[in-house]
Structure 1
Amino acid sequence: MPRSATANQELRERSRERILGAALEVFAAKGYEAASISEITAAAGVSRGLVSYYFATKEQLAAELLDRWLDGITAILTLEGTPDERLAGIIDGALMAAATTLPIQRLAITLMMQPTTHDVFAQVEADKSIRLAQVEDAIRAVFADRGAAEPAVEEMLLRATLEGVTVKLAIYQQTFPLEAVRRRLYAGYALPEPAFPLPITSPPVHRLRAK
């Protein structure tokens, strides 16, 4: 019996997701530059033709993964509450994303910083410019509501700080004291001390060392 159009669509979506998942695994293990479409095809357990049907190039695979990463950032647009509660939510959301989605975070950092792949990141960022501007404006509104003299500068500084934390966590995952850093960020913005730790493993403060 022939499959229905709905069943065919679901099958295509599963295949596409399997390819994207495999691409992220291979990128994380090999690095973007060293990874090949053949390795992604093998990891996904699909034919080369199927991968090419959805993604003509490795750059398109990376762009789709980055697109989803940027979409995740826009979750802060749904935050509600007082300015302090929203700022705490932004900090916690960014730290949780850094800790729980390291492979995509590493990919984003790599594509941003390497000259040979920066254009891939820049294009995805340009495609998402309206949505990203909404995120920037939402963060600036939080700082404006808290009485900041320069909300735009505060937004840029917060994002730079959180992105720096993400870089360090990507390098020093096993020794980075994320909870202690979180509490220091709260204190730096005069936020009430968090009632509970983040639901992730966080080592004590000692020294950052790769393991």
Structure 2
Amino acid sequence: MPRSATVNQELRERSRERILTAALETFAAKGYEAASISDITAAAGVSRGLVAYYFGTKEQLAAELLDRWLDGIAALLTLQGTPDERLAAIIDATLLAAATTLPVQRLAITLMMQPTTHAVFARVEQAKTARLTEVEDTLRDIFAARGAPDPATEEMLLRATLEGITVKLAIYPETFPLEAIRHRLYTSYALPAPPTPLPIRSPAVDRLRAR
């Protein structure tokens, strides 16, 4: 019996997801530049032709992963509550995402910072300009509602701080005291202390060392 259009669509989606998962794992293990399409097809258990059919090139694979990463940032627009509650929720959501999606965080950091791959990141970011502008404006509105004299600078400082935390967490996942850093962020913005810890492992403050 021929497969229905719905079944065929589900199979296509599963194949795409398997390829994307394999690409992310391969990029994490070998680095973007060293990873090859052959490595990715072997990890996914699919033919090279299937990867080419869905994505075309290694850059398009990376772009799709980055696209999803940027969509995760844009999801902050849905957070509700008072300005203080929204700011606390944005901090928590960003820290939790950083801790639970380290492979894609490392990929994004690598593509952003490496001169040979920065253009890949720039192209994806440009394609998401409208959504990212919404995120920036949302943060600026929150800071304006909290009485900040320069909401744009506050937005940039918060993003830079959270991105810096993500970089350190990607380098030192075993020794980074995420919960202590979270409490310090709350204090710096005069937010009430979080009632419960984030549902992730967080070591005590000591020294950042790679393991």
C-alpha distance in 1, partners of 2:52/2:27?
Answer: 17
Q: How does 1:22-101 map to 2 (within 5 A)?
A: 22-101=22-101
Q: Which amino acid in 2 is paired with 1:180? A: A
Verify: 1:191 aligned to 2:183, yes or no.
Answer: no
Q: Map 1:37-186 to 2 at 5 A.
A: 37-186=37-186
Q: Which residue of 1 aligns with 2:210?
A: 210
Partner of 1:200 in structure 2?
A: 200
Inter-partner Cα distance in structure 2 for 1:71 and 1:105: 13
How far apart, in 1, do the equivalents of 2:205 and 2:6 lie? 52
Q: Secondary structure of 2:209's match? A: coil
How far does the alpha carbon of each residue in 1:13-55 deviate from its partner, in whole angstroms, 9 at most, with x for none?
A: 1000100000000000111011010000000000111011011
Deviation readout 1:153-198 (Å, 9 max, x if unpaired): 0000000000000000000000000000000000000000000000
Q: Indicate the SS of the match to 1:200.
A: coil
Rounded Cα–Cα distance in structure 1 between residues aligned with 2:127 and 2:52: 22
Aligned residues: 211
Which string of whole-angstrom CA distances, capped at 9 and with x for unpartnered residues, describes residues 57-94 of structure 1?
10000000000000001111111111100000010011
**Alpha-carbon distance in 1 for matches of 2:111, 2:210:** 22
2:99 partner amino acid: A
- The one-letter amino acid of 1:198's match is L
Matched residues in 2 for 1:52 and 1:76: separation? 33
* Structure 2 counterpart SS, 1:201: coil
Identity, in percent, stands at: 79
1:2 aligns with 2:2: yes
Partner of 2:18: 18
SS in 2 for 1:149: coil
Q: In structure 1, how many angstroms separate the alpha carbons of the residues matched to 2:10 and 2:95?
A: 33
| Structure 1 stretches of 4+ moved >6 Å | none
Structure 1: tracts of 5 or more residues without a match: none
Q: Which AA in structure 2 matches 1:177?
A: P
Normalised to the residue count of structure 1, the TM-score between the two structures is 0.99
Gaps of 5+ in 2: none
Displacement after TM superposition at 1:123 (Å): 0.4
The separation in 1 between residues aligned to 2:76 and 2:118, in whole angstroms, is: 25
What CA distance in whole angstroms lies between the structure 1 residues aligned with 2:173 and 2:66?
21
Instruction: Please state whether the residue corresponding to 1:205 is helix, strand or coil.
Output: coil
